[in-house]
């Protein structure tokens, strides 16, 4: 027969567990974007601080719009002027057609006589 093996008995009790993890590393943005503009202008405001998290559609830079507003006003004025010139040309063309028709009628009557 075999000899009995001695067994050690331990009674379990609840104790707080402490766990620490020490790591070395570097924090970096998940996404980084280079900012560029398709138009030139004076920067009026920068409402977002560098490095701040933003959502899609958040204005990052506000440009001075006075120059662009003036350009729009000028384009509208040019458009109105072009429409006026077109209307005047159509009136002149209509008058010339009437004048040509009158002259053609006079010429036809003169030939008939």
- Which residues, 6+ apart, have CB-to-CB distance to 68 below 8 Å? 39, 41
Please tell me the distance from the alpha carbon of residue 53 to that of residue 92, in angstroms, as a whole number. Answer: 63
Measured between its terminal Cα atoms, the distance across the chain in Å is 157
Cα–chain-centroid distance for residue 20?
48
Mean residue pLDDT of the chain comes to 89
Confidence of residue 79 (pLDDT cuts 50, 70, 90): very high
Which pLDDT score, from 0 to 100, does residue 37 have?
A: 80
The per-residue pLDDT for range 18-68, each reduced to its tens digit, is 888 888 988 887 777 787 888 888 899 999 998 888 888 999 889 998 988
């Amino acid at each position: 027969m075999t000899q009995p093996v001695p067994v050690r008995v331990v009674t379990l009790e609840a104790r707080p567990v402490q766990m620490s993890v020490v790591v070395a590393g570097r924090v970096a943005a998940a996404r980084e974007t280079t900012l560029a503009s398709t138009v030139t202008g004076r920067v009026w405001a920068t409402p977002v601080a560098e490095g701040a998290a933003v959502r899609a559609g958040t204005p990052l830079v506000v440009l001075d719009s006075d120059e662009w507003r003036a350009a729009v006003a000028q384009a509208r004025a040019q458009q109105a002027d072009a429409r006026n010139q077109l209307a005047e040309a159509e009136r002149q063309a209509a008058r010339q057609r009437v004048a040509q028709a009158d002259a053609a009628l006079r010429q036809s009557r003169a030939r008939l006589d």
